[in-house]
Structures are given as structure tokens and as C-alpha cells.
Amino acid sequence: MLSSVALVPLRSLTFIILLVSFAVVSVMVGLRVTDALDNHVLNALTSSRTYILDITMVVVTTTADIFPVYFSPMLIISFILLIRRKSRRIGAILIIVILVATLVTLQVKNIVHKDRPEYEFNIEGLNYKLEYDALSKASSSYPSAHAARSAAFALIISYMLKGKRVGRFNLGFILWLYPLLISLSRVYVGEHYVTDVVGGTILGLIVANFIGRVFKLSTIN
């Protein structure tokens, strides 16, 4: 299962593929090779809006926000795990992973300058402001910090839940739907292009694997 093998050795072929994949996507984005694909996917999603989908996607994308901290589900879960004695190490690793993933994406944004979509997402009757990856609309679109955080979070939590089941369903495996939905929501609300969330997801997996190995996540029962 994906949830049981997601944490890979840093010298493994899988980890090398992640690094190379991120480098390739970043170069393609920087050279504007992906513009046609990005615009096609963005137009397809934003032209299929409904009120129910709008509300759903706003709720989904907000769960990957980190500000305000007291309203960030990922950080709240991390702090709860940090407080509990048996899960303290997992909680600490999660907090580090979320912060590092956010900081690394901001650094890459400064290298790969890509304008965000010229799309204003508004819901009639709802006064809502989306959180930007760098707290600024002017921040580079690539890569998506929301996608990176959610992927990193999913990797650590799914590893912790490996083997856990609810009926016939593997909880660790199901959890991977979360970063997928976050990525979809970021494009739907017009904050990112598809390559932004692809790059962010890969970067999140790289960060989570690196931090997980450095802090010996695999030794936690």
C-alpha cells in the first residue's frame, strides 16, 4: 500500500525520482513550456462552477491555511499530537514538516517567478478572502505552498496510520485523498495553475521524506 511505503530512504531510486521530477517541472514552468496546459485546465475548472462546489472548495482549501494558527486544522492536529505523551514525537515532526514545506516553497517562489492566474474568485453573498501562499497576491504562483503542506502532512500522518483500518478501508491510503482535494481546490478557486500544485505536491513529499528520515520517523511504533 502507498501509505506503508511512502517514507522512502533518501538514497533510494524513488527519492531520486522525486528530486528529478521536481527539477524538471520547475524548469518547464520557468521556461513557460506549461502555459498552454495550465490555462486549459484552469479554464475547464473555473467554467464548471456551481454554488455548492464553490462553498465546498472554499472549505477544502481553507483546511490547508496556516493563518490564523488557531484556525488551522493541520497545525491544531499537530499541536494535539505534540501535547499527548505517546504521540509527542509525531506532533513535533508534523509541525517541523509543515513549517519547512512552507518556507521552502517561498524560497522556490523567489527563484521561479510565475504570475498567478488573472482570475477573481467571488461567491455571491459570501465575504471571504482566500489566504495566499505568501500572504500576498503578488507572490509567485509556483509552487503551491498549500499543496506542499497538505502532501507533507498526508505522508507523515498516513505513515503513522499504516495498517489501521475502518472496516475494509485503509485509513492511511484514504488520507491521500486530502492533498488531491487541496490541489484541486487551489486551481478551482483560481489561486494556482495545475503545474503549481503538481510541483508543490512533489516538493511536499520531498520535504516530508527528508524530515521523516532525519528525525527517524521509521523507528516510531
- Collect the ranges in the chain with pLDDT lower than 70: 1-5, 127-138, 221
pLDDT in tens, 13-63: 999 999 999 999 999 999 999 999 999 999 999 998 999 999 999 999 999
pLDDT attached to residue 3: 41
Is the bond into 143 cis (omega within 30 degrees of 0)?
A: yes
- What was the pLDDT predicted at 172? 76
Please give the Cα distance from 49 to 121 (Å, whole number): 10
- Is residue 121 within 8 Å of residue 190, measured between CB atoms? yes
Helix locations, 112-193, DSSP H? 145-160, 171-174, 177-188
What integer pLDDT is reported at residue 2 of this predicted model? 41
Please, what are the domains in the chain?
2-219 (1.20.144)
